[in-house]
Amino acid sequence: MGNSCCFLCGCVDQASIGIVERWGRFEKLAEPGFHFFNPFAGQSLTALLSTRISSLDVRVETKTKDNVFVQIVCSIQYRVVRENADDAFYELQNPQEQIQAYVFDVVRALVPRMTLDELFEQKGEVAKSVLEELEKVMGAYGYSIEHILMVDIVPDASVRKAMNEINAAQRLQLACVYKGEAEKILQVKKAEAEAEAKYLGGVGVAKQRQAITDGLRENILNFSHKVEGTTAKEVMDLIMVTQYFDTIKDLGNSSKNTTVFIPHGPGHIRDISDQIRNGMLEAGSSNINVE
């Protein structure tokens, strides 16, 4: 009767690598696929290691150069190097703790040299330093560090509140500056508009007075030619008295006026006519200067 042999079979997944031992000692790596193992020769598939990328979040609490306590969250993406899987299996019992310890060491050595603002600005440099240190150390144990991301930087709650208040105050100050500039522009434009309006109003009054003076002059000349023996002064006095009574009539018909005291009498009428005539003469001369 011939000798018969008994073999054990095993399957290694595509994203895995097998550790094969003989009598408790490492013999070889088993690539993905189907394998036979001879138990009578002490051969066995001891373990399977995944070669997929794993992610480890490490939260480090430290303080900055300006004595602000912060919590930094680092996301470490690593994987087992297929060719060095035996080192990854035999050298490190807990690779996550080892990675975390080196992240703590590097971050706590770098961050205290930076202020809080510098830390936010240079977080990429911190991640780069952590990556370089982990690649150098973990590479010897069969691990490859793929990426390191500084996921979050969380200052103390009181510091965050103070930073928000400073930011709000700066924005409010900037808003006040813009508001002041806008009000200044409005006031300047308003002053320019008022000046232009007053100028145009003055021009209009001057033209009005010129028209009145021209009309009075024409009336005086027409009246003097049609009524013989009258002088220009007499005609002027008559026109002034007529305007005087028209003014009194307008004041009486106006509902916005209450009581107006006006001197009345022949002497006062003459005085008023003299004043009006002098005012018209002055207006005529000023209109000539304006033109």
Alpha helices for 111-156 (secondary structure H): 116-121, 123-138
Does residue 231 surpass a pLDDT of 80? no
Can you give the pLDDT at residue 178? 84
* Model confidence pLDDT, tens digit, residues 205-225: 778 767 777 776 777 677 666
More confident residue, 274 or 40: 40
What pTM was estimated for this model as a whole? 0.53
* Model confidence pLDDT, tens digit, residues 50-70: 999 999 999 998 888 888 888
Can you give the pLDDT at residue 77? 92
Min mean pLDDT across 12-21, 151-160, 178-187, 247-256 is at: 247-256
More confident residue, 264 or 126: 126
What is the mean predicted confidence (pLDDT) over 177-201?
Answer: 86
H helix or E strand, kind and range, residue 174: helix 157-226
CA–CA dist 78, 145 (Å, integer): 4
Q: What average pLDDT does the chain have?
A: 79
Helix, strand, or coil here: 253?
helix
Min mean pLDDT across 20-34, 162-176, 192-206 is at: 162-176
H helix or E strand, kind and range, residue 79: strand 69-80
Judged by phi (left if over 0) then psi (alpha if -120 to 50, else beta), residue 67 lies in left
* Model confidence pLDDT, tens digit, residues 106-124: 898 888 998 888 888 888 8
Domains assigned to the chain: 8-49 (no CATH), 51-155 (3.30.479.30), 209-290 (no CATH)
Helix, strand, or coil here: 114?
coil
For residue 95, give the nearest of 112, 81, 78, 109 by alpha carbon.
78
For residue 143, give the nearest of 103, 86, 100 by alpha carbon.
86
Does residue 97 surpass a pLDDT of 80? yes
Q: What length does the chain have?
A: 291
